[in-house]
Copies of this chain bind each other. A is one copy, B any other.
Amino acid sequence: MDILKKTVEGIAKHSLEVINRVDPEQVDLMIDTIMNARSVFIVGSGRSELVGKSFAMRLMHLGFQVYVVGDVTTPSITSNDSLVAISGSGETKTVTIAAETSHEKGAKVVAITANTESTLGENMDVAVKIESKTKIPWKHHTSHVLKGNYDDLTPMGTLFENTAHLFLEGLIAEFMARMGKKEIDLKRRHSTLE
Chain A contact residues, CB within 8 Å of chain B: 1, 3-9, 11-12, 15-16, 19-20, 22, 24, 27, 41, 43, 45-47, 50, 53-54, 56-58, 60-61, 66-77, 83, 92-94, 97-98, 101-102, 105, 135, 151-156, 158, 161-162, 165-167, 169-174, 176-177, 182-183, 186-194
Closest to A74 in B: B191
The 4 closest A-B pairs by CB, nearest first: A4-B170, A7-B173, A153-B173, A12-B12
Number of copies: 4
Q: Indicate if the CB atoms of B98 and A194 lie closer than 8 Å.
A: yes
Q: Indicate if the CB atoms of A194 and B45 lie closer than 8 Å.
A: yes
Q: A50-B50, A188-B76 are known contacts. Are A156 and B169 too (CB-CB below 8 A)? A: no
CB neighbours (8 Å) of A74 from chain B are: 60, 191, 193
Q: Please pick, from B15, B57, B83, the residue contacting A12 in the complex, using a CB distance under 8 A.
A: B15
Q: Indicate if the CB atoms of A77 and B176 lie closer than 8 Å.
A: no
Q: Indicate if the CB atoms of B191 and A46 lie closer than 8 Å.
A: yes
Residue in A72, A170, A189 whose Cβ sees the most chain B Cβ within 10 Å: A72
Q: Please pick, from B56, B156, B162, B182, the residue contacting A183 in the complex, using a CB distance under 8 A.
A: B156
Q: Indicate if the CB atoms of B43 and A193 lie closer than 8 Å.
A: yes
CB neighbours (8 Å) of A73 from chain B are: 56-57, 60, 66-68, 71
Closest to A171 in B: B4
Q: Please pick, from B8, B93, B187, the residue contacting A19 in the complex, using a CB distance under 8 A.
A: B8
Q: Indicate if the CB atoms of A4 and B94 lie closer than 8 Å.
A: no
A194 to B192, CA, bound (A): 17
Residue in A24, A54, A69, A156 whose Cβ sees the most chain B Cβ within 10 Å: A54
A170 to B9, CA, bound (A): 9
A182 to B158, CA, bound (A): 14
Closest to A1 in B: B24
CB neighbours (8 Å) of A98 from chain B are: 193-194
